[in-house]
Amino acid sequence: MRFEGSTALAWLDLKAQTGRTLVSGKATIADPKISPDGRFVSFVRDHNVWLVNLADGKERAITQGGTEERRKGELDWVYPEELDIKSAYWWAPDSSAIAYLEMDERKVSQYPLVDFSSPSGESEMERYPAAGGANPIVRVFVVSLGGGEPRAMDTGADTDIYIPRVNWLTDSKHLAIQRLSRTQTTLDLLIAEATTGKTRTALSETDPNWINLSDDLYFLKDGKRFLWSSERGGYRHLYLYDLEGKQLAQLTKGEWEVTAVDAVDEAKGLVYFTATEKSPLERQLYRVALDGSGFARISKEAGSHAAVLAPNAAAFYDTFSNAAAPPRQDLCRAD
């Protein structure tokens, strides 16, 4: 079994609470997740997405027909390596459905990799899309936990593209799908209806040279607005849009960049983020209101700050260091 970070701790905690092994068998499992309602644990096994019911321990495959050539809910090698995507399936916020990527690898070239730790020099084949060669054909599906056939989301006729990010909207009825051209010069944000698969383009980013991806997309709980970051002005900054793609506000601006969105306090209308405003050699924590007012730096000491905010954004712990000081952690109020 392969686990990472907090997911591993949650999995072990569930095992301790239930007093039983959650998943049996010898097949390798990967990417375990706990459903938002806490009733299921999902994981990838044998190139399919599986569920185990925590009430009775029963397992079932939520996808069917996955193989090494056609992976369902499972990433290949190149997507996490080149697009920094960490998973290929996502729970709806209300736990009613799962969205997943299907990766058709049949035309992707294979290369033998020798296991030098093997006394007999065994090798295994790895699919690697060389420059100019075939990429995997990737599609987005939604499958309901209540049953029925998975529904394909319409990402367009061109299949020589990337799907580097997928997010559920807060209503559990719509998906946000980012579609990136193979040249990585056009990025479209598609809003898809989960029940029909119909999509529309909310906004598009173009650059003659290159578009860098981010994980800054954030949908507000009102279901009407979202945060988006863009480098269209030469530096990555934050913008507020409505679901139709109308820009409502530019939250940050200047000859510096936002490097991460750390938290959104919707009750107070504040966004907390890390940026290089003080110096390109530093990372400081800032906040700004959703209308672009009230810009302020929160962290103080010169150097690098990495903040993790509490769920209510009332406090944060800050990992700080600079050239003269080793890493130190402080617990701070959000002010």
What is the pLDDT averaged over residues 75-96? 96
Query: For position 131, what pLDDT does the model report?
Result: 87
User: CA distances (Å), 321 to each of 11, 292, 297, 299, 305, in order?
Assistant: 32, 29, 17, 12, 7
What is the pLDDT averaged over residues 313-334? 96
The yes-or-no verdict on residue 16 having pLDDT over 60 is: no
What is the pLDDT averaged over residues 284-289? 98
Query: For position 25, what pLDDT does the model report?
Result: 58
The yes-or-no verdict on residue 36 having pLDDT over 90 is: yes
State how far the Cα of 138 lies from the Cα of 201, in Å rounded to an integer.
18
Query: For position 59, what pLDDT does the model report?
Result: 94
Fill in the amino acid letter for 113: L
Query: For position 262, what pLDDT does the model report?
Result: 97
Q: What is the pLDDT of residues 242-258, one digit of tens each?
A: 999 999 999 999 999 99
Give the domain ranges of the chain: 5-213
Helix (H) or strand (E) holding 18: helix 5-18
User: CA distances (Å), 303 to each of 139, 262, 318, 323, in order?
Assistant: 43, 18, 12, 8
Q: What is the CATH number of domain 5-213?
A: 2.140.10.30
Q: What is the pLDDT of residues 200-217, one digit of tens each?
A: 999 999 999 999 999 999
What is the pLDDT averaged over residues 53-66? 94
**Global pTM?**
0.90
State how far the Cα of 107 lies from the Cα of 13, in Å rounded to an integer.
42
Q: What is the pLDDT of residues 166-203, one digit of tens each?
A: 999 999 999 999 999 999 999 999 999 999 999 999 99
State how far the Cα of 164 lies from the Cα of 80, in Å rounded to an integer.
9
User: CA distances (Å), 223 to each of 49, 55, 97, 247, 319, in order?
Assistant: 28, 32, 18, 15, 33
Order across the sheet with 247-250: list the strands.
Answer: 218-219, 225-230, 237-242, 247-250
What is the pLDDT averaged over residues 30-48? 96
Query: For position 22, what pLDDT does the model report?
Result: 57
Beta-ladder partners of 284:
275
Helix (H) or strand (E) holding 12: helix 5-18
What is the pLDDT averaged over residues 98-113? 95
Q: Within its chain, how far is the Cα of 301 from the centroid?
A: 31
Percentage above 70 pLDDT, the chain: 92
Pick the range with the lowest mean pLDDT from 42-46, 120-124, 268-272.
120-124
